[in-house]
Structure 1
Amino acid sequence: MPADTSCITLCGPWTHRKIQANGAQFHAAYAGEHRDDRPLVLLVHGFPQYWWAWRHQISALAQAGYEVAAIDQRGIGGSDKTPNSEDGLTLTQDLIAIVQALGARKAVLVGLGRGGAFSWSAVSMKQDLFSGLVTVSSPHPRTLHRIGTHVTFKTWQQVLGTLVPPMGRKNLRDPQSVRQLLTRWSAPGNDGAASQWEIYSQALQLPGAAQIAVDQLRWTWRAQRNPTGRRYLREAANTVYIPVLAVRGELDPFLPDRAWNKDREFAGGPYRKVRVSDAGHFVPEEQPEVFNRILLNFLAGL
C-alpha cells in the first residue's frame, strides 16, 4: 500500500518548493518574496516534527515583508532520505547550502530543539552568510554535551529511550505514543502542539522516517564518540558576533533555565534571552501570537 504523503503538501498561505542543496533534495513550505533589504528567514524544525511546526509563523513573516522557508530536514518529511541522514555535521551543512541555493545574500536562522542546535552550528561555521540567529528550546550544543546539572532526569529518560533503536522506532510508529510525547513535552493543559499528533504521526509513518528520526537523536547524544561528531562540536564553538535571541518556554520539562547559562561563552555580540509563560518545549505552537511578536520585533531590530 503506497505511503500517504498528503501531510507533506498541506494547503495554506504558502507554496511547496523543492530545493537542491548539498547533494540532496529538500522540501520547504515557502512564502513571501525576495528582497535585498531584508534577510531570508529559514525555519528549522526539531524532533519529532517537520515543517508543519511553523504553520503559525510562515504567513505572519510573509505578511511582514520577509521571504520565509520552513524546511524539512534531511531524512524527515518530504526531504530526501539519504544514507547517513543522521549525521549532524551534514545536517548543519545542509542549512548553509539551502540558504545559498535560495540565492539569499543574508539569512536569519530560526531553529527549535535540535534544529536550534544545528542553527547555532551553521552560524558558527559560516557567519558572514547570516544576520541573526533565533533559537527556541535550544541552548548552545556544546552545553548539552557537558557533564553537569543543566539537564533534568526527564532529559536522560528520553535519551535512554532513544538509545535503544527498536524501542524508539516502535514508539514513533505508534500514533498514541507520539501524542503522549507531544503532551509530555508541552506545558500542562496546552495542546498547541499535541493537537497535531495525527499529522505528525502521519509524517513519521513515511518509509524510513521513524528510523531516521531515532538515528538522528542517537547521533546527537553520541556525538563525542565519533570523528564527525567531534568535528561538529569543534566547529560549533566559534564565537558568534551577530545578534542572537534565545527563547525558552518557562514550563519546558526537559531543559531547566540554567541550561542557557553558558550561551554567552559563544555569543560575542548582542544576546537576549526571553522566557515565554504557559509554554513548554514547543513555544511557536503553544504560544504562537506571543512568539510571532517576539520574532518580528527581533527581525525589525536587525
Structure 2
Amino acid sequence: MPQSTTAAQRTHRLVPSPAGRVHLVEQGTGPLVLLVHGFPESWYSWRHQLPALAAAGYRAVAVDVRGYGRSSRPADVAAYRMLDLVEDNAAVVRALGEESAVVVGHDWGATIAAHSALVRPDVFRAAALLGVPYTPPGGPRPSEVFAGMGGEGRDEFYVSYFQEPGRAEAEIEPDVRGWLAGFYAALSADAMPGPGDPGPHFTGPGGTLRERFPAGALPGWLDEAGLDVYAGEFERTGLTGALNRYRNMDRDWEDLARFAGAPLTVPSLFIGGALDASTTWLADAIKAFPDTLPGLSGTHLLDGCGHWVQQERPAEVNRLLTDWLAALPA
C-alpha cells in the first residue's frame, strides 16, 4: 500500500543514548519540540501532532521511550529510573544538533517531560503536560501510598499489580492485541466503565486487570490498523521494558529527594481529559498549579475526553499546542 503524504514526510532515525539508542520519528524544520509518549504506547501516539507541528514551523520529534519499540531495552529493572529517562531526552537533543527543546509529554511521558525540565532546565526550556498533572517530588514513599489504595474487598491498585516482574506480563503477553484493545477502550471517553465500576485501575483479589475491561468495539479514536501498529510493536518487544517504568517509583523518590517540593518554573501548559481518572484523582494537584507551575500559561480540561487526549481530540490539542508554542519566548 502506498504511503500517505504525511507518512512519507516522516523520517525514522536511531540516535545514540546512554542505554545505546533511541528511535525517533521526525517531521518539519524549526525550533525543536520533543514528544514523549506514555504507557502502553509508542511514537505513534503523536501521529496527529507531527504534521500539525511541522506545518506550524517546528521540528517535531516523537521518540520511543527506553524499553519501547526500536529504542534500547536494558535488562536491568533499575535502568528505567526517571533520571535515566531524562538523560535519554537530553541525549536526543544533542544528537539532533540542538542546544534546547520544548518537551511535550502524555501520561508517563508527561511526568518524564516535567522532570526533564525540572532536572535539566538548561536543555528543556518549556514543558507541556498532557493527561497527568505535575506533582513535585517528595511526600510519602510511593509504594506505601499505592499499597493503601485498594477498595472494597481489598482490590489491588494497578501500580502495585505491576511491581512484580513477570506478573503483569503473564496476563498481557498471551494476547497482546486483545489486551491493548481492552485497555485503550477502558480509559477512553466513549467506552470507559460507568459510575461505580472500578474499571481497569484495580484488580480483584487474585484477579487480572483484563477482567474489568469493557467488552465491545474499539474506541472511536483507534481503528484496526492503528491497533495493529501498537500490537505489532509489543508483540515483538514484550511489555517488560514498558512495565519497568512502574518498578522504579521508589528509586525515583530516592533519586529526586534533592528536588522535594520543587516547583517547575519553566513556561508550561496542561491539557487533560475531564473524564480521565488522572485529572479527577489528581484534582488537588491541578488546584496547586499556581504554586507548583508558576510558569503555567493555561490549564485546559477537555469536556467529554478520556485519557488518550491527543488521540481522542487531536484538532483541539494541536491548536492548544501551536498557540502556546507561538507565544513562548524565542
Shared fold per TM-score greater than 0.5: yes
Residue 288 of structure 2 is aligned to residue 262 of structure 1: yes
Q: 2:87 is matched by which residue type in structure 1?
A: Q
Q: Spell out, residue by residue over 1:267-297, the C-alpha distance to the aligned partner (whole angstroms, 9 max, x if none).
A: 2324421111221111000010111011111
Asked whether the 8 Å contact 1:31–1:59 carries over to 2, the reply is yes
Q: 1:163 is matched by which residue type in structure 2?
A: Q
1:27 counterpart SS class: strand
Residue 232 of structure 2 is aligned to residue 202 of structure 1: yes
Counterpart mapping for 1:227-266 below 5 A = 229-232=253-256, 234-235=258-259, 237-256=261-280, 257-266=283-292
**Which residue of structure 2 aligns with residue 4 of structure 1?**
none
Q: 1:134 to 1:233 in 2, by over 3 A?
A: farther
**Which residue of structure 2 aligns with residue 279 of structure 1?**
305
* Distance in 1 (alpha carbons) for counterparts of 2:156 and 2:260: 23
Using the aligned pairs only, state the percent identity. Answer: 27
**Which residue of structure 2 aligns with residue 211 of structure 1?**
240
Q: 1:107 to 1:169 in 2, by over 3 A?
A: same
2:129 counterpart SS class: strand
Q: 2:178 is matched by which residue type in structure 1?
A: Q
Counterpart mapping for 1:1-302 below 5 A = 11-33=7-29, 35=30, 39-84=31-76, 85-142=79-136, 157-173=157-173, 174=175, 175-189=177-191, 190-193=219-222, 196-207=226-237, 209-220=238-249, 223=250, 226=251, 229-232=253-256, 234-235=258-259, 237-256=261-280, 257-302=283-328
1:291 counterpart SS class: helix
Long gaps (5+) in structure 2: 1-5, 192-218
| Number of positions where the alignment pairs a residue of Structure 1 with one of Structure 2 | 281
**Which residue of structure 2 aligns with residue 7 of structure 1?**
none
| Shift of residue 110, structure 1, vs aligned partner | 0.4
Q: 1:254 to 1:156 in 2, by over 3 A?
A: farther
* Distance in 1 (alpha carbons) for counterparts of 2:292 and 2:319: 26
What TM-score, normalized by structure 1, do the two folds share? 0.83
Asked whether the 8 Å contact 1:142–1:236 carries over to 2, the reply is yes
In our comparison, the structure showing a higher alpha carbon Rg is 2
1:142 counterpart SS class: coil
* Distance in 1 (alpha carbons) for counterparts of 2:37 and 2:138: 18
Q: 1:265 to 1:186 in 2, by over 3 A?
A: same
Bigger mean CA offset, 257-266 vs 246-255 = 257-266
Long gaps (5+) in structure 1: 1-9
Q: Spell out, residue by residue over 1:220-266, the C-alpha distance to the aligned partner (whole angstroms, 9 max, x if none).
A: 3xx2xx3x541135447543332110111011134413342333333
Q: 1:235 to 1:96 in 2, by over 3 A?
A: farther
1:206 counterpart SS class: helix
Q: 1:204 is matched by which residue type in structure 2?
A: F
2:45 counterpart SS class: helix
* Distance in 1 (alpha carbons) for counterparts of 2:14 and 2:260: 28
Q: 1:28 to 1:199 in 2, by over 3 A?
A: same
* Distance in 2 (alpha carbons) for counterparts of 1:40 and 1:233: 30
* Distance in 1 (alpha carbons) for counterparts of 2:298 and 2:257: 23
Q: 1:268 to 1:23 in 2, by over 3 A?
A: same
2:91 counterpart SS class: helix
Q: 2:18 is matched by which residue type in structure 1?
A: N
* Distance in 2 (alpha carbons) for counterparts of 1:75 and 1:252: 25
Q: 2:311 is matched by which residue type in structure 1?
A: E
Instruction: Tell me the C-alpha RMSD between the 2 structures.
Output: 2.7
| Shift of residue 100, structure 1, vs aligned partner | 2.1
Q: 1:179 is matched by which residue type in structure 2?
A: A
2:230 counterpart SS class: helix
Asked whether the 8 Å contact 2:100–2:123 carries over to 1, the reply is yes
Asked whether the 8 Å contact 1:125–1:238 carries over to 2, the reply is no
* Distance in 2 (alpha carbons) for counterparts of 1:291 and 1:204: 26
Q: Spell out, residue by residue over 1:178-218, the C-alpha distance to the aligned partner (whole angstroms, 9 max, x if none).
A: 111111111124431475333212111123x3111122222
Asked whether the 8 Å contact 1:186–1:193 carries over to 2, the reply is no
